[in-house]
Structure 1
Amino acid sequence: MGTESQVLGVLLVIIICLVPCSSSQSQLHRKTLKSTSTSYAVIFDAGSTGSRLHVFHFNRTLDLIPIGQDLEFLDKVKPGLSAYAKNPEKAAESLIPLLGEAEGVVPKRVRHKTPLRLGATAGLRLLEGNASELILQAVRDMFKERSTLKLEAVAVIDGTQEGSYLWVAINYLLSNLAKEYWETVGVVDLGGGSVQMAYTVSEETAAKAPNAPEAEDPYITKMYLKGTKYFVYVHSYLHYGKEASRAKILNITRDSDNPCILAGFNGSYVYGDVEYKASAMPSGSSFSECRDTVLKALNVNATCPQKNCTFGGIWNGGGGPGQQNLYLATSFYYLATEAGIADIKKPSGKVRIVDFKIAAELACKTTLEEANSFFPLIQENVLQYVCMDLVYQYTLLVDGFGLDPWQEVTVVKKLEYKDYLVEATWPLGTAIEAVSSLPKFERLLYFV
């Protein structure tokens, strides 16, 4: 009996030891699975007016999951890389603080497999000679020297990519991916140097798409998203972003007074190291005369080799249901909220395109001295352009893109996603592409 008790006692000790050991191993296994089934992506948006850092965190099904209190980490520096055209090393150095923040956000154990991408947009596209490539090489060298992240790309992204990535980002946040093409939304993104339109078309329309002008990207981008094939019409109009468009409009009147400048301003506007005269007419700004000037800047009467064109002789994609629900991003949102068209306290809002015209008519009747009382949210250093900017955005949408003035659209900065607000910008689209190509993830997005 004593021997049996001793044996039972030994077995009991072994069992007691094994249970917690097994439990610990199980917990460790679960912890390991948890840590390896998510991934981060670090994306730099090198825009024309500044550089922005985006860090995203995805689970295994490529849903966004929190980084601290938010679903993405954001920060920015000014000016943009293009401001350092004559000093590439200085351009690279401007990103060092952002890179340090990114390294601090991404856990050390996964940095070596976390995609790092930098996409430069219109600001670098507009630089002459090899200035943009010298800047990009300096950035590559800096990343390689200072970062342990997995460097994938440092490049100027073309307008087609920028528009496609934004289309993906917005439809991802709206949970539209994998739906029929007519259930998705179209996007128009007005940056500083360019404007992009992107929306889905039918396979039949895509098959009949004309060839794009020489040196331009194809009109149709084919992509697979969550097992669904989409044909996305995308076109980018370089030189027609918010800041670039001012130069275009002022160049129409050259050394003469411009009908889009508010009375009381007599000065100049500098864009791309070129100075343009920016002086009001003796009678002040005029909505109708400004609109005529903008129409000339848009080149709406250019020869159109296709049946349906936007401006500059560019095919418009044929329209259709994919374009019926439009989201207007970036400068559309900022001007709409600052001019009182939409509520600045809300991350997005529905407006009618004609609301831009109503605001423009008011703006073009004011003087520079009066403008601050009518448009208190617009920065004083750009108040002289409020008539021009509003007329341009209205005319771009109606005469440039052929949209109905009474169409309701959504101006957007952020969208709600799982009780969080996430910025509606192209870096999210490229982050999804980067992470979905990792071996442990399903390929949610890829281009054909």
Structure 2
Amino acid sequence: MRFPKLAFIFMFVGCLVVYLTYVKRHYDDSKPLVSDQLPQYKMDTHKHPTSAHVASENFQYGIMFDAGSTGTRIHIFKFQMEPNEAPKLAHETFKAIKPGLSAYADDPEKSKEGLLTLLKVAKETVPETLWSSSPLMLRATAGLRLLPGEKATILLDKVREVFSESLFFYRPESVSIMDGTDEGMSAWITINFLIGALHGTETPTVGMLDLGGGSTQITFALQDEKTIQTSPIDYVTSFQMFNISHALYSHSYLGLGLMSARLAVLGGIEAQPLPGPQELISPCLASDYSGQWEHAEVLYTVKGQKAGEPIYESCLRKVEKMIYKRVRKTEEVKDMDFYAFSYYYDRAVDLGLIDEIAGGTVRVRDYIEGAKKVCNNMSAGGIKETPFLCLDLTYISVLLQELDFPPDKELKLARQINNMETSWALGATFQCIESLRKHGMC
């Protein structure tokens, strides 16, 4: 029986359809399912065009302006994003300018030039295709916290105006004055992330001490139930990061940063210029010293007190009187490792206790002995560059003891860990990235 030609054609077409359907299904089953598993971040192949491996990874940029009391700094972080894992910090770009934002309190328009200079750095660092997905933030610290409310608000509005034209991912609430506790918590996140203590490993967390110009912070993970019960409620905070909960003791002492404390010890009052000539006389300066010092846009003439008893003893009494009952002791700090930053670091460098680049370790007694040596060997001729070193070291040594650190307590000092800056900016940016991943906003 002959097979009809038309039937043969239908059978051939049917077999072809079955074959193509099978091949397509096999191909689809072999493809990796990526669209529903990876975070919705664009890929950055701009920096490493020769690396096929890097080109397959997802990256997210975060841009943080740190508006401190003595300067404004920009941190541009590049994070490698992986599903169900903590972000990895791939790179940081950093630049600082002076003076601080608060210096423009009476002429906010002048702040624009510095902001644009730093934004230019961001645009040179972040690939243009990623500008719209890279969050842009500014957090102001003690410098703006010490300004009258209206002046601070006007300054921040000027920042918002500049940022709104930047083409980066920006929201008005991303520009704000950072609460002191948040500052301490963010710095704690930074240091513990960099040492690997936040990745679910057995690495213990460390405490954090920061001494800025206008405020000083202490933050550590709570381990003793007694500390929780006896601490003021606003000293204790908790948060979740990378699916792990953390309970922290964190407090910021506004007005006890090194520059504010220096003014108080000298006899001045923050934001209240003296009537007439701005002259301050102090036993913490060399007896024959006379010079000028500017703080918060006020120019002071500072002089040493006439020679009497040893300078260290006189200065110590002034410092102890100024700080009396302004700092809370915490027994738990004695048994925990601590990192210390900012002016703790700078003054240790001045004393020759650590390398300026590499950092190192010091004991509290090193500051005490250093203060005694500097104070009791001062002469105006030898301290032109560091007239306040005696006062600063005395203050630091007293502050640490008031926080309950014993003289033999060792502190680690570092500006960088694994080539990354150890400021609060990284921790605050991490919190923003976490919020973006969970809620789509910082």
Shorter-chain TM-score above 0.5: yes
1:432 and 2:430 aligned = yes
1:226 and 2:228 aligned = no
Return closer, same or farther for 1:442/1:81 CA change in 2, 3 Å cut-off: closer
Structure 1 vs Structure 2 CA RMSD: 3.3
Please, which of 264, 276, 282 is the counterpart of residue 258 of structure 1?
Answer: 282
Quote the offset at 1:86 in angstroms: 0.7
Is this contact kept in 2: 1:191–1:241, CA < 8 A? Answer: yes
Is this contact kept in 1: 2:345–2:414, CA < 8 A? Answer: yes
Deviations 1:153-188 (A, max 9, x none): 111101001100000000000101156999211111
Please, which of 383, 389, 392 is the counterpart of residue 389 of structure 1?
Answer: 392
Structure 1 unmatched ranges of 5 or more: 1-21, 213-217, 303-311, 373-379
Quote the offset at 1:341 in angstroms: 1.6
Is this contact kept in 1: 2:333–2:404, CA < 8 A? Answer: no
Return the alpha-carbon distance in structure 1 between the equivalents of residues 363 and 431 of structure 2.
33
Q: Which runs of 4+ in 1 moved over 4 A?
A: 28-36, 178-182, 252-256, 274-277, 440-443
1:191 and 2:221 aligned = no
Question: Pairwise mapping of residues 209-288 of structure 1 onto structure 2 (< 5 A)?
Answer: 209-211=230-232, 218-251=234-267, 257-274=281-298, 276=300, 278-283=302-307, 286-288=311-313
Please, which of 405, 413, 416 is the counterpart of residue 415 of structure 2?
Answer: 413
Q: Which has the higher Rg, Structure 1 or Structure 2? A: 2
1:297 and 2:322 aligned = yes
> Secondary structure of 1:328's partner?
strand
Return the alpha-carbon distance in structure 1 between the equivalents of residues 193 and 336 of structure 2.
18
Is this contact kept in 2: 1:256–1:277, CA < 8 A? Answer: yes
Return closer, same or farther for 1:102/1:188 CA change in 2, 3 Å cut-off: same
Deviations 1:352-387 (A, max 9, x none): 110111211111123344535xxxxxxx54x11011
Return the alpha-carbon distance in structure 2 between the equivalents of residues 36 and 221 of structure 1.
35
Quote the offset at 1:440 in angstroms: 7.9
- State the identity %: 31
Return closer, same or farther for 1:256/1:123 CA change in 2, 3 Å cut-off: closer
Please, which of 108, 111, 133 is the counterpart of residue 91 of structure 1?
Answer: 111
> Secondary structure of 2:62's partner?
strand
Structure 2 unmatched ranges of 5 or more: 1-27, 45-54
Please, which of 63, 81, 87 is the counterpart of residue 42 of structure 1?
Answer: 63
Is this contact kept in 2: 1:48–1:80, CA < 8 A? Answer: yes
Quote the offset at 1:278 in angstroms: 2.2
Return the alpha-carbon distance in structure 2 between the equivalents of residues 436 and 203 of structure 1.
28
Return the alpha-carbon distance in structure 2 between the equivalents of residues 189 and 179 of structure 1.
25
> Which structure's relative contact order is higher, taking Cα pairs within 8 Å and 6+ residues apart?
1
Quote the offset at 1:62 in angstroms: 4.1
Question: What's the counterpart of residue 121 of structure 1?
Answer: 141
> Secondary structure of 2:216's partner?
strand
Is this contact kept in 2: 1:260–1:387, CA < 8 A? Answer: yes
Is this contact kept in 1: 2:341–2:413, CA < 8 A? Answer: yes
> Secondary structure of 1:395's partner?
helix
Task: Report the AA paired with residue 318 of structure 2.
Answer: T
Deviations 1:234-264 (A, max 9, x none): 1111111111111010117997731111233
Is this contact kept in 2: 1:328–1:411, CA < 8 A? Answer: yes
> Secondary structure of 1:257's partner?
strand
Question: Pairwise mapping of residues 21-420 of structure 1 onto structure 2 (< 5 A)?
Answer: 34=55, 37-60=58-81, 61-66=85-90, 71-151=91-171, 153-178=174-199, 183-202=204-223, 204-205=225-226, 207-211=228-232, 218-251=234-267, 257-274=281-298, 276=300, 278-283=302-307, 286-298=311-323, 300=324, 302=325, 312=326, 315-316=328-329, 318-320=330-332, 324-346=336-358, 348-371=359-382, 380-381=384-385, 383-398=386-401, 400-416=402-418
Return closer, same or farther for 1:233/1:442 CA change in 2, 3 Å cut-off: farther
Return the alpha-carbon distance in structure 2 between the equivalents of residues 160 and 280 of structure 1.
36
Deviations 1:7-32 (A, max 9, x none): xxxxxxxxxxxxxxx9xx99x99996
Return the alpha-carbon distance in structure 2 between the equivalents of residues 323 and 103 of structure 1.
45
Quote the offset at 1:208 in angstroms: 1.8
Quote the offset at 1:93 in angstroms: 2.9
Quote the offset at 1:92 in angstroms: 2.9
Return the alpha-carbon distance in structure 2 between the equivalents of residues 157 and 222 of structure 1.
17
Deviations 1:203-260 (A, max 9, x none): 7346525445xxxxx1111012333221111111111111111101011799773111
Moved more, 247-256 or 96-105: 247-256
Quote the offset at 1:315 in angstroms: 4.2
Please, which of 415, 420, 423 is the counterpart of residue 422 of structure 1?
Answer: 420
Return the alpha-carbon distance in structure 2 between the equivalents of residues 442 and 129 of structure 1.
30
Return the alpha-carbon distance in structure 1 between the equivalents of residues 364 and 128 of structure 2.
48
Return the alpha-carbon distance in structure 2 between the equivalents of residues 178 and 101 of structure 1.
31
Task: Report the AA paired with residue 322 of structure 2.
Answer: A
Return the alpha-carbon distance in structure 2 between the equivalents of residues 79 and 354 of structure 1.
33
Deviations 1:390-445 (A, max 9, x none): 111111101x21210111111221112xxxx11100000011111122238999xx
Task: Report the AA paired with residue 409 of structure 1.
Answer: L
Return the alpha-carbon distance in structure 1 between the equivalents of residues 174 and 227 of structure 2.
29
Return the alpha-carbon distance in structure 1 between the equivalents of residues 381 and 371 of structure 2.
15
Query: How does the TM-score come out when normalised to structure 1?
Result: 0.78
Moved more, 433-442 or 38-47: 433-442
